Amino acid sequence: MEPKPIVGIITNETVGFNGRQQSHSAGKRYVDAVMNFADIVPILIPACIRKCDLGTLLDRLDGVVLTGGRANIEPHHYGGEAFPDDEVIDPDRDKTVLDIIPECVQRHMPIFGICRGIQEINVAYGGTIFYRVHHQSDKQDHRMPQNDDASLEEIFKPRHLITFPENSLFKEILGQDSFWVNSLHGQGIDQLGAGLSAEAFSPDGLIEAISINDHKSFAIAIQWHAEFHPERDENRLNNLLFQKFGDACRQFHLAKS
């Protein structure tokens, strides 16, 4: 049997035990989706890996997933206004991911960005980010429900439609012009980075999906959370995205071998 591809899932640096212990972690749903729907082997990438070691790591991988996270990219990476003092940050992840993205692109390695991942790819390509989408007069509130007792089903349920422009990869993948997605983000793409294409929009015009131009493999990022129950009929696009990502990782692995 041909060995399965190995894919790196970026982690977030989190603090637990009342501030006494730092950890690198990724949501279980990302790991499950990579295993069960992309059918590839996941490993976790530490958020603090040194730039000089990235080549050694990526030589052993066949794809990378950029996950969501509670912290947002610090605005000094894209010329934005400084965060308030109480903003959650993850500077190690910022640095690591902004180093990983060009390495993946140079190798034409499959890369799949989810939620924070779409914002990271945009920043890596010189784009900018809205600090709070709902502060924009022409944008809707894209955050999760603000009541503390909301269930997971309520938090992750489809919230708004996205539409695909002409020649969108998503129209080709799904065979239709629109799709309902969940929405759990406070920030979002403002100016699109050079070298990227917008693949989907929400009703208020916010960019919901992008692709990397001239990339020879799967290089897609989305603003919604595709890892939440991709097996459900209403989440068919999410299932297809993980399948397409897995196929691309297998092709990359074979070509590398």
Spot the catalytic one: 115, 120, 142, 185.
Answer: 115
What are the backbone dihedrals phi and psi of residue 66, each rounded to the nearest 5 degrees, phi first? -100, 110
Are the C-beta atoms of residues 70 and 87 closer than 8 Å to each other? no
Spot the catalytic one: 104, 142, 227, 253.
Answer: 227
CA–CA gap between residue 84 and residue 106 (Å, rounded): 35
Closest C-alpha to 48, from 120, 96, 107? 96
Spot the catalytic one: 13, 104, 208, 225.
Answer: 225
227 is catalytic: yes
Classify residue 220 as left (phi > 0), alpha (psi -120 to 50) or beta.
Answer: beta
225 is catalytic: yes
Residue 54: count of CB within 10 angstroms of its CB: 17
- Return the SS3 of 219: strand
185 is catalytic: no
Which amino acid would we find at residue 30? Y
Are the C-beta atoms of residues 200 and 207 closer than 8 Å to each other? yes
Please identify every residue annotated as catalytic.
115, 225, 227
